[in-house]
Amino acid sequence: MSAALDPSDYGRLRWRCRRGLLENDLLIERFFERHGAALTVAQADAIATLMELADNDLLDLLLGRSEPAGACAAEPVRAVLALMKARH
């Protein structure tokens, strides 16, 4: 089990997740509203991996138009991606 994310690291992560496409911002904001209080260090690392993607590539993953590849295919990243894609 991964340790809880430090509040200062959480703030930096939120700032890092600001994107150029509104659609990405909306989906990521919804994720933080639902799961932000319980984020772990491992999940934060997975989110950081996703934030390395170009905006359009990230949006394609979030909308299910493409499958994760490379570093994004790792299980922790896939798990966070599934949480970001969840509608409920």
**Nearest in space to 11 (alpha carbons), one of 30, 53, 34, 39:** 39
Is residue 62, in this structure, part of any structural domain at all? yes
Higher pLDDT, 82 or 1: 82
Is residue 2, in this structure, part of any structural domain at all? no
Specify the number of domains making up the chain: 1
Q: What is the pLDDT of residues 27-52, one digit of tens each?
A: 999 999 999 999 999 999 999 999 99
pTM: 0.90
**Residue bearing tokens 């799961």:** 35
Is residue 25, in this structure, part of any structural domain at all? yes
Residue numbers of the domain that contains 72: 7-85
Is residue 73, in this structure, part of any structural domain at all? yes
CATH number at residue 30: 1.10.150.250
Do 84 and 62 form a contact (C-beta atoms < 8 A)? Answer: yes
Answer whether residue 78 shows pLDDT above 60: yes
pLDDT averaged over every residue in the chain: 93
Name residue 76's amino acid. Answer: P
Do 44 and 35 form a contact (C-beta atoms < 8 A)? Answer: no
